[in-house]
């Protein structure tokens, strides 16, 4: 029965989770995060915003200063022995034994899991290597691996068992475009099997492509969380007009209350008016003023717009 | 029980189905936990560095054996009046004594230094390479990982001691005659009993290293740098050896881990003098208990951020 009630709980739920490092740095500040089961959850934030610190607390590597973290329905770090075998993790990039081959690295990490059956070890290691496309390089010493190969091997270690939750801290760091695409496909495949994926990333379009949910951190605080669609729609889209008569177009649009106008070659963009009905009137006004309109339309707000709107200019590191 | 669970599972609908079947049904055997210890030992012995250390240790009996052989070929018995390691004057009469000479020569520094390197690096080395966090999320379990590391270090203690003893025996057999053994107390025993005593001496030497192994493990949990932990442990060894030389410090000397090390020679008496041998074992056990607990207290509460 205990297992059942746990299955109904979110994959990750934190309550007022706080971490102050020994140096006094407040890295995570009263974080309330809820990661639904079955979601692909993007964890966004500028450098130093506390993403890795949060993940370390979730994995029981560091003790929270205050607050609680529940993973797969049980409290961390206390229930680590029961929870962690069901979780695969890649934290702050891969770390490998350079003097061991890729395959032996996986054997070593698998041997550290007391719930891993030694009889199936070889088969599981081979399957994990296959899954990340490293079979051909499995016999090479890990110190001779490229960054992308190390990253793949780290992922393979997270996939040694069927997992209920995957925690991936910047999983595509160092990968080539082909590798990035493979990871995205892998994440989608795992998600369709029912694995919850929690991934932090700096690549907004990547989050937009694979994630169903997203949370945004800045300076240790949670700014927002919700579905990707909700967040993107919270940032308003923009009006875009293509015309050779840009100066005239800007004048007319300004008259009609369009703000934040910018001109880029023959493209004029501006903040979309709040009422949609005005769109057709705007176009008519442009034409009446003799502006030769080549195209007229709206651009959907991207996650990046939403992110910049939330964090200010976004990617500056806060002290 | 399992039927009830299966029924309840299907009732939970999509959520239960979302859990990959294999994870929910894993019933681990307690024996699987031994994999970590085996993996620790394998990892220690697959490092080039481990073989370099064993190589240095192996060189000692060879060098001592060859030096004694060359000196005696020039005429005259070796080591007479000139001092040198214990038992060296007996080596020409009986190759078995090369085992005792080599252990006496390596125990004050080479052997414990090798242990200090392995023990000091055990946790700190993994912390600095970052592999520690992946072992912990595997999850190795902090207590279990520490026990496996300590056990692997003790395995290395045995391997290092055996390397010296076995090589000394081989070199002694090749370069010198073997035969009945004249003990320190003047009694002569058969070569077979001599061999048994050599084995006991090797065991006493290996156990003498438990203290520095525990000390090194503790130091290793204090820092995130493998090099720093190794250097500190070897530094502590040298300090303890120096302090053990000053007669003025006799009050603290019985608590220095190297203090009774050379007591293994008492196993070569008839009857055996047990006092110091047992004092040594007790002291090593005390170090293991004190620094083992300290390492445990430190490691199980430590933030792993590397
Ligand atoms: N071991 C540590 N000791 C002290 N302060 C730390 C430590 N690790 C991180 N910090 C601080 O905590 C804050 C959050 O760091 P964290 O690594 O969690 O950020 P992040 O969001 O993962 O950044 P990035 O995107 O660069 O990986 C930063 O201000 C950082 O300086
Ligand atoms: Mg980070």
Of B115, B118, B119, B122, the residue nearest B161 (C-alpha)? B115
Which residues, 6 or more positions from B248, have their beta carbon under 8 angstroms from its beta carbon?
A: none
Q: Do B35 and A118 touch (CB under 8 A)?
A: yes
Name the average pLDDT for chain A.
Answer: 85
Chain A residues within 8 A of B141 when measuring between CB atoms: 80-81, 114
Contact between residue B91 and residue B176 where contact means Cβ atoms under 8 Å apart:
yes
Name the average pLDDT for chain B.
Answer: 84
Give contacts of B 42-71 with A, CB under 8 A.
43, 46-48
Q: Tens digit of pLDDT for each residue in B61-112?
A: 999 999 888 887 765 554 454 456 667 778 878 889 899 999 999 998 999 9
- If you average pLDDT over residues B139-168, what whole number do you get? 94
Q: Does B248 touch chain A (CB under 8 A)?
A: no
Q: Span A236-300: which CATH code? A: 3.30.70.980
CA of A21 to the centre of ligand 1 (A): 9
Which atom of ligand 1 approaches the CA of A19 most closely? Answer: 12
For chain B, give the number of residues.
306
Q: Tens digit of pLDDT for each residue in A205-226?
A: 778 888 999 998 888 899 888 8
Of A290, A73, A316, the residue nearest A196 (C-alpha)? A73
Rounded CA gap, A250 and A55, in Å?
A: 48
Q: Which two tokens stand for residue A216?
A: 């945004």
Chain B residues within 8 A of A113 when measuring between CB atoms: 138-140
CB-count burial class (<10 Å; 0-12, 13-18, 19+) for A69:
buried
Q: Which of A111, A123, A145 to mutate to test the interface with B (most CBs of B within 10 A)?
A: A111
Rounded CA gap, B61 and B107, in Å?
A: 12
Please count the CA atoms within 13 angstroms of the CA of A5 that sit on its side-chain side.
Answer: 3
- Residue B126: which pLDDT band, with cuts at 50, 70 and 90? very high
- Boundaries of CATH 3.30.70.980 in chain A? 236-300
Q: Do B140 and A112 touch (CB under 8 A)?
A: yes
Q: What share of chain A is helix, strand, coil (3-state, %, to 5)?
A: 40, 25, 35
Which DSSP letter does residue A301 get?
Answer: P
ipTM of the complex: 0.83
Which DSSP letter does residue B295 get?
Answer: H
Q: Tens digit of pLDDT for each residue in A88-131?
A: 999 998 999 999 999 999 999 999 998 888 889 999 999 999 98
Query: What is the predicted pLDDT for the residue at A280?
Result: 78
Candidate from B16, B17, B135 with C-beta closest to A112: B135
> Number of Cβ pairs closer than 8 Å across A and B?
143
- Boundaries of CATH 3.40.50.300 in chain A? 2-233
Q: What is the pTM of this model?
A: 0.84
Q: Span A2-233: which CATH code? A: 3.40.50.300
Chain B residues within 8 A of A54 when measuring between CB atoms: none
Q: Is A319 in the pocket of ligand 1 (CB under 6 A)?
A: no
């Amino acid at each position: 029965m205990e297992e059942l009630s746990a299955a109904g709980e979110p994959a990750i739920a934190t309550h007022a989770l706080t971490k102050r490092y020994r140096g006094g740095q407040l890295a995570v500040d009263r974080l309330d995060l809820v990661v639904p089961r079955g979601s692909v959850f993007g964890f966004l934030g500028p450098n130093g915003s506390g993403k890795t610190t949060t993940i370390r607390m979730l994995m029981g590597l560091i003790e929270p200063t205050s607050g609680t973290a529940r993973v797969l329905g049980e409290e961390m770090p206390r229930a680590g022995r029961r929870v962690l075998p069901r979780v695969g993790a890649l934290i702050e990039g891969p770390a490998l034994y350079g003097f061991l081959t890729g395959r032996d690295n996986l054997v070593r990490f698998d041997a550290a899991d007391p719930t891993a059956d030694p009889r199936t070890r070889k088969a599981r290691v081979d399957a994990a290597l296959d899954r990340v496309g490293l079979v051909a390089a499995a016999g090479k010493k890990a110190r001779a691996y490229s960054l992308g190969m190390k990253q793949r091997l780290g992922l393979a270690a997270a996939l040694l068992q069927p997992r209920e939750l995957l925690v991936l801290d910047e999983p595509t760091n160092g990968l080539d475009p082909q590798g990035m695409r493979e990871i995205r496909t892998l994440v989608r495949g795992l998600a369709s099997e029912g694995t919850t994926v929690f991934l932090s990333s700096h690549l907004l379009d990547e989050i937009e492509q694979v994630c169903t949910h997203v949370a945004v951190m800045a300076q240790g605080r949670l700014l927002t969380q919700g579905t990707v669609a909700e967040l993107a729609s919270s940032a308003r889209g923009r009006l875009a007009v293509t015309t050779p008569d840009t100066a005239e177009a800007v004048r007319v649009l300004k008259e009609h209350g369009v703000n934040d106008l910018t001109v880029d070659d023959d493209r004029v963009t501006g903040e979309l008016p709040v009422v949609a009905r005005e769109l057709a009137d705007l176009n008519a006004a442009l034409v009446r003023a003799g502006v030769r309109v080549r195209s007229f339309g709206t651009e959907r707000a991207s996650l990046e717009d939403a992110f910049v709107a939330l964090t200010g200019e976004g990617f500056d590191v806060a002290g | 029980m399992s039927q009830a669970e299966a029924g309840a599972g299907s009732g939970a609908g999509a959520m239960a189905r979302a859990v990959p079947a294999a994870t929910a049904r894993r019933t681990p055997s307690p024996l699987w936990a031994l994999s970590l210890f085996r993996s620790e030992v394998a990892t220690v012995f697959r490092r080039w560095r481990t073989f370099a250390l064993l190589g240095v240790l192996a060189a000692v009996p060879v060098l001592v054996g060859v030096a004694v052989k060359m000196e005696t070929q020039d005429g005259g018995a070796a080591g007479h009046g000139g001092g040198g390691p214990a038992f060296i004057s007996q080596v020409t009469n009986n190759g078995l004594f090369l085992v005792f000479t080599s252990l006496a020569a390596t125990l004050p520094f080479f052997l414990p230094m090798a242990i200090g390197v392995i023990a000091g690096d055990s946790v700190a080395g993994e912390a600095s390479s970052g592999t520690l966090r992946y072992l912990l999320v595997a999850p190795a379990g902090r207590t279990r990982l520490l026990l496996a590391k300590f056990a692997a270090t003790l395995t290395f203690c045995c391997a290092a001691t055996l390397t010296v003893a076995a090589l000394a025996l081989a070199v002694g057999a090749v370069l010198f005659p073997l035969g009945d053994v004249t003990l320190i107390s003047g009694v002569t025993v058969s070569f077979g009993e001599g061999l048994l005593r050599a084995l006991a001496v090797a065991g006493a030497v290996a156990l003498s290293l438990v203290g520095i192994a525990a000390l090194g493990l503790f130091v290793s949990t204090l820092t995130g740098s493998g090099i720093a932990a190794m250097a500190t442990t070897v530094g502590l060894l040298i300090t303890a050896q120096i302090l053990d030389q000053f007669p003025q410090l006799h009050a603290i000397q019985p608590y220095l881990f190297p203090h009774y090390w050379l007591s293994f020679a008492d196993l070569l008496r008839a009857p055996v003098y047990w006092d110091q041998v047992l004092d040594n074992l007790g002291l090593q056990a005390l170090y293991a208990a004190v620094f083992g607990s300290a390492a445990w207290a430190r490691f199980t509460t430590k933030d792993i951020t590397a």
